[in-house]
Amino acid sequence: MSASGEPDHSNSLPHILSSKTPFLNLKLYVVIAIVVFCILISLTMFLCIRWRRSSRKRKVKHSSGLIPLVSKEITEIKAVNRKVDCFTEDGKMEIQDPKKKGEAAAAASDDSLRSSDVSVDVQNIGWGRWYSLKELEVATRGFAEENMIGEGGYGVVYRGVLQDGSVVAVKNLLNNKDRGQAEKEFRVEVEAIGKVRHKNLVGLIGYCAEGSQRMLVYEYVNNGNLEQWLHGDVGPVSPLTWDIRMKIAIGTAKGLAYLHEGLEPKVVHRDVKSSNILLDKKWNAKVSDFGLAKLLGSESSYVTTRVMGTFGYVSPEYASTGMLNEGSDVYSFGVLLMEMITGRSPIDYSRPAGEMNLVEWFKGMVASRRGEELVDPLIEVQPSPRALKRALLVCLRCIDLDAHKRPKMGQIIHMLEADDFPFRSEHRPTRERDPVPSSGATSFEVSYPTKQGGGGNIEKPRWR
Ligand SMILES: Nc1ncnc2c1ncn2[C@@H]1O[C@H](COP(=O)(O)OP(=O)(O)OP(=O)(O)O)[C@@H](O)[C@H]1O
């Protein structure tokens, strides 16, 4: 009641609602109506965006079984001659010194953060087994140091034993790395080999994605890696005989052939090198470490990308232009084979100037017909001259400066396996020509099958 006895309406709701506010002098109920309207609009927009996103993800989830998904960050180029910007935004090329790989990978990660949404929707991987952090902690005994197998550019790898007794290798991607990089490596590996099974590719069996932790769980390969066997302290005689080396070479070639010729889109590994070839007790080779892999659709002749890989193994055209296709892996395989034949690292600063670069030294030796001197002195029983020539020829063809002249991985398998069939060459006299070039040129005429059937591709999984 007011002093005059009149009822006081100043505190009543209608009065408050119709009172003026400082906001554009509008009445309170008008302001409330505007706010409610704005909230409704925002809510509707938010729901629309979420619905569109989830319907996109559903499409990805249902994409077919064995075929890896095309990575968003890949620039697909259909015309070979198209002029492209082959360098990174800052104009740098990023061939890696092995020790600097982590930094370069982190840079690539930044790049991908800019160019695409790197967040992995772990609910939508739709492959493999999900492991809880707890499970992997138990398997590796709390990521104990004695279970640590090694550390690469992307994280630390531990040996683990799961509850069912199976032995696995757990790669902890987040160790000392920023979240963006871990996400990227996680996604790349999952897309590249998550659903792929091949006896010469390390099997990715599951993953852990909890909070900011990203881990990959692989089959455990129990006999170290090729780099350790080639360059480690193995005594005066290497356990890797010539035949074992050729077995490893053929196994590696089969794994790569499957990536290049057995999958759609094909996978370019980008980091073929001895430390990425894992070995089991029977010397079966398993290609590992797909953190740099790129997917290449069938209509694309190459992708352009930051130059990544490991110093000494990267093909010259990729290093100078950033244009990548499976020919780059073939070049790296050629360097790897040279490494296996000679027991020398691709770059070895402890050697005399003319021998530091394996490829140059190797070509020079072949050109001056000193091929037999190339064989690793730790190999006790020398290969037959014919077997040696064949292997040297494969090396030279793989490192042909003209990438188009390099053989496909499928052809390389046939070339390396030809030794298993000593009489085959009698039916094909052209093969008996001395395959070792006197000029060091790398474009030899060899009559191995180049194509099988139509379509321009090697018959598919013969090497599976
Ligand atoms: N599935 C596996 N089974 C057994 N050992 C493995 C497995 N995966 C990796 N390793 C070992 O773990 C170590 C680290 O591997 P990782 O692939 O992370 O690095 P890297 O290949 O040595 O170096 P980078 O990643 O820089 O190329 C290596 O010694 C490798 O042989």
User: Is the confidence at residue 289, as pLDDT, over 90?
Assistant: no
**DSSP output for 286-341:** EE---TT-EEE-TT-SEEE----SBTTTS-HHHHHH-EE-HHHHHHHHHHHHHHHH
Query: What's the CA-to-centroid distance between 98 and ligand 1, angstroms?
Result: 13
Binding residues: 171, 276, 289
The reply to whether ligand 1 has any atom less than 6 angstroms from the CB of 101 is yes
**Topology of the domain covering 116-219:** Phosphorylase Kinase; domain 1 (3.30.200)
Q: In the chain, what percentage of residues exceed pLDDT 90?
A: 44
Which atom number of ligand 1 is nearest to the Cα of residue 278?
31
CA distance 447 to 41: 70
State the pLDDT at residue 21: 80
The reply to whether ligand 1 has any atom less than 6 angstroms from the CB of 185 is no
CA distance 401 to 118: 35
CA distance 101 to 107: 10
Per-residue pLDDT tens for 76-125? 222 222 222 222 222 223 444 433 444 333 333 333 322 332 333 444 45
> 426-463: buried (b, 16+ CB within 10 Å) or exposed (e) per residue?
eeeeebeeebbbeeeebebebebeeeeeeeeebebeeb
- Higher-scoring residue by pLDDT: 357, 130: 357
Number of neighbours of residue 349 by Cβ within 10 angstroms:
7
CA distance 202 to 271: 14
| Tally: H helices and E strands in the chain | 12, 13
Average pLDDT over the chain, rounded to an integer = 74
Based on the residue annotation, tell me whether 271 is a catalytic residue of this protein.
yes
Both tokens of 391, joined, read 């292997």
Q: Whose CA is nearest to atom 29 of ligand 1?
A: 150
Query: What's the CA-to-centroid distance between 275 and ligand 1, angstroms?
Result: 7
- Nearest one of 231, 228, 276 to 256, comparing CA atoms: 276
- Sign of the CA dihedral 174, 176, 177, 179? positive
Query: What's the CA-to-centroid distance between 238 and ligand 1, angstroms?
Result: 22
Per-residue pLDDT tens for 1-46? 444 555 566 677 777 778 878 877 778 888 888 888 888 888 888 7
State the pLDDT at residue 425: 41
User: Is the confidence at residue 164, as pLDDT, over 70?
Assistant: yes
162 with 184: CB under 8 angstroms?
no
CA distance 224 to 285: 10
User: Is the confidence at residue 366, as pLDDT, over 80?
Assistant: yes
- Nearest one of 248, 340, 241, 322 to 286, comparing CA atoms: 248
Q: Classify residue 368 as exposed, middle or buried by CB count within 10 Å of its CB (0-12, 13-18, 19+).
A: exposed
pLDDT band at 181 (very low <50, low <70, confident <90, very high): low
- Nearest one of 155, 168, 256, 272 to 213, comparing CA atoms: 155
Query: What's the CA-to-centroid distance between 157 and ligand 1, angstroms?
Result: 6
State the pLDDT at residue 298: 65
Which atom number of ligand 1 is nearest to the Cα of residue 98?
26
The reply to whether ligand 1 has any atom less than 6 angstroms from the CB of 157 is yes
CA distance 185 to 214: 9
Q: Which CATH architecture has domain 225-432?
A: Orthogonal Bundle (1.10)
State the pLDDT at residue 309: 75
pTM for this entry: 0.68
Best of 189, 271, 275, 313 for a ligand 1 pocket test (most atoms within 8 Å of beta carbon) = 275
Best of 289, 290, 311, 313 for a ligand 1 pocket test (most atoms within 8 Å of beta carbon) = 289
- Higher-scoring residue by pLDDT: 337, 23: 337
State the pLDDT at residue 6: 56
The CA-based dihedral angle spanning residues 23, 24, 26, 31, taken in that order and rounded to the nearest 10 degrees: -50
306 with 88: CB under 8 angstroms?
yes
State the pLDDT at residue 401: 95
User: Is the confidence at residue 274, as pLDDT, over 60?
Assistant: yes
Reported ipTM exceeds the 0.95 cut: yes
Domain limits of the chain? Answer: 116-219, 225-432
274 with 248: CB under 8 angstroms?
no
Q: E-strand spans in 182-290? A: 204-210, 213-219, 266-268, 277-279, 285-287
CA distance 342 to 354: 15
State the pLDDT at residue 194: 77
Catalytic residue, from 271, 329, 400, 419: name it: 271
Q: Whose CA is nearest to atom 9 of ligand 1?
A: 157
178 with 118: CB under 8 angstroms?
no
Q: Which helix (H) or strand (E) holds 53?
A: helix 28-61
CA distance 27 to 20: 4
State the pLDDT at residue 360: 97
